[in-house]
């Protein structure tokens, strides 16, 4: 298994503490740069898909596509947190050069997730085929509901495949080689950009649009799985490859991440679905446009912070607390600064940006854009702190705060959406987050969260 160590492409001497610091930053830098490439392509896919799809599909059909697209984030919780739990475990085993144990961990994790994907994908296809859908698309015509049904069946198949394939991306994140993952996603983004302009000419429906976007995104995991197979000599799982402790630890740790994912999904990722059900698909379309507008801010910040998860886990496994302190301080400062500046720029340019996104078809309300901008900065800072907490496996304070957030936010949303519409849903999210997560992190859980920073 020592041959795997030769594939880590070290540029600095990791036998010294300073060398390890530089190597982590180098890997994070490579991941950030490659993420810029892949996210720029992903953003281009979003922009092109909106400009292409909205004029020829119309607001209602586009709202159906936007609602189904939002399900990708919502349903990804059903890997039960196992994908996220693999990041820190992979990083720790790689830091200690435990290559044989790492191979068994990968096989065990992907096998469990493949079984979950098969079961969930089948269940979603069956639900889409036979369940009533009129509640999800308030006021939609029967022909539109039937088109949505077929698209949801396709989505179920793709989602089942995505469960293990998305975990492959997490494995590369744990290896601090997210740049390889980003390159695969970038390649698929190029294919999407080539396919999207053909949609109107082919009179493609919502299902074809989903395949050209989400379908190709899922396909990036296939490329990475092939590379991972060649690197670690993966094979079809045998009984000897399974480790009871690996499966038990992944499920236990994954359960904690699962709770966090559930609260996040219900807390804000389901907003488009909630609006579609309570107000109508057109409101979901407006929400999706503004959400994608602020991806111009959240995208780069996520690219900057996401690679730090693996670095935090690696440093924690080695007891390198100086790196952790220094990195967290920089991350929070830069996220706050760039987030505020980015949101301010978008608020000034909201009219031309919304025109660019929708080709002039939609004009989001200014008050809603301002509220969403404030939430964007708050959420970005919270995400930067979450990378630190996840890397050090400080999960219980997050879970308690997240459950409180979810409870408060749901009550606020159900009361505010019917009265204030789009403004109500984002105001409820912002108020709920600050009054629960913000307050608890700065008071009750302050010591538990920041104690590792005071370690020798």
Please name the residues in contact with 203: beta carbons below 8 A apart, sequence gap of 6 or more: none
Instruction: Show the tokens assigned to 433.
Output: 């987050």
Neighbouring CB atoms inside 10 A of 48's CB total 17
Does the CA dihedral 180-182-184-186 come out positive or negative? negative
Nearest-angstrom CA–CA distance, 67 and 391: 32
Q: List, for residues 51-68, the tens digit of each pLDDT value.
A: 777 666 666 677 777 777
Would you say how long the chain is, in residues?
456
Nearest alpha carbon to residue 320 among 119, 23, 51? 23
pLDDT over 80 at 138, yes or no? no
Does the CA dihedral 304-305-307-313 come out positive or negative? positive
For the ranges 48-52, 171-175, 346-350, 403-407, the lowest mean pLDDT is seen at 48-52
What does 149-187 look like in DSSP terms, one character per residue? HHHHHHHHHHHHHHHHHHHHHHHHHHTT-HHHHHHHHHH
Residue 440's pLDDT is: 92
For 205, phi then psi, to 5°, come to -90, -170
CA distances to 43, 51, 343 from 32, rounded to whole Å, are 15, 28, 20
pTM of the model: 0.67
User: Alpha-carbon dihedral of residues 366, 372, 376, 378, nearest 10 degrees?
Assistant: 110
For the ranges 31-35, 59-63, 188-192, 238-242, the lowest mean pLDDT is seen at 238-242
Residue 56's pLDDT is: 66
Report yes or no: 84 and 262 within 8 Å, Cβ to Cβ: no
Please name the residues in contact with 52: beta carbons below 8 A apart, sequence gap of 6 or more: 196, 197, 199, 200
Give the whole-number percent of the chain exceeding pLDDT 90: 9
Please name the residues in contact with 412: beta carbons below 8 A apart, sequence gap of 6 or more: 427, 428, 431, 432
Instruction: Show the tokens assigned to 240.
Output: 């000897």
pLDDT class of 193 with cuts at 50, 70, 90? confident
């Amino acid at each position: 298994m020592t041959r795997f160590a030769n594939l880590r492409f070290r540029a600095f001497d990791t036998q010294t503490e300073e060398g390890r610091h530089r190597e982590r930053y180098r890997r994070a830098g490579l991941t950030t740069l490659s993420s810029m490439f892949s996210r720029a392509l992903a953003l281009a896919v979003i922009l092109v898909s909106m400009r292409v799809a909205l004029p020829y599909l119309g607001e209602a059909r586009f709202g159906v596509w936007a609602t189904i697209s939002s399900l990708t984030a919502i349903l990804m919780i059903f890997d039960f947190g196992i994908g996220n739990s693999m990041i820190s475990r992979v990083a720790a085993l790689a830091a200690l050069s435990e290559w044989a144990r790492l191979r068994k961990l990968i096989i065990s994790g992907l096998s469990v997730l493949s079984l979950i994907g098969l079961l969930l994908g089948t269940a979603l296809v069956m639900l889409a085929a036979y369940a009533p859908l009129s509640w999800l698309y308030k006021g939609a015509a029967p022909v539109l509901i039937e088109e949505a049904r077929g698209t949801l069946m396709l989505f179920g198949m793709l989602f089942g495949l995505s469960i293990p394939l998305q975990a492959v991306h997490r494995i590369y994140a744990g290896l601090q080689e997210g740049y390889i993952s980003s390159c695969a996603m970038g390649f698929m983004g190029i294919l999407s950009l080539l396919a999207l302009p053909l949609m109107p000419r082919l009179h493609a429906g919502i299902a074809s649009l989903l395949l050209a976007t989400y379908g190709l995104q899922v396909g990036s995991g296939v490329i990475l799985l092939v590379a991972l197979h060649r690197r670690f000599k993966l094979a079809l799982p045998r009984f000897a490859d399974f480790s009871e402790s690996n499966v038990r630890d992944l499920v236990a740790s994954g359960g904690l991440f699962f709770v966090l994912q559930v609260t996040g999904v219900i807390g804000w990722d389901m907003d488009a679905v909630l609006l579609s059900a309570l107000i109508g698909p057109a409101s979901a379309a407006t929400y999706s446009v503004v959400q994608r507008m602020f991806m111009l801010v959240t995208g780069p910040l996520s690219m900057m912070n996401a690679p730090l998860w693996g670095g935090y886990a690696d440093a924690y496994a080695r007891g390198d607390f100086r790196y952790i302190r220094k990195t967290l301080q920089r991350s929070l400062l830069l996220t706050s600064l760039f987030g505020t500046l980015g949101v301010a720029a978008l608020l000034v340019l909201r009219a031309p940006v919304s025109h660019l996104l929708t080709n002039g078809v939609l004009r989001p309300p200014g008050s809603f854009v301002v509220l969403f901008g404030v939430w964007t900065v708050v959420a970005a800072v919270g995400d930067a702190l979450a990378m630190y907490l996840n890397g050090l496996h400080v999960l219980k304070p997050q879970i308690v705060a997240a459950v409180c957030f979810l409870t408060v936010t749901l009550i606020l949303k159900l009361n505010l959406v019917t009265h204030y519409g789009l403004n109500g849903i984002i105001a409820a999210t912002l108020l709920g987050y600050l009054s629960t997560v913000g307050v608890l992190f700065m008071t009750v859980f302050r010591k538990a969260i920041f104690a590792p920073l005071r370690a020798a």
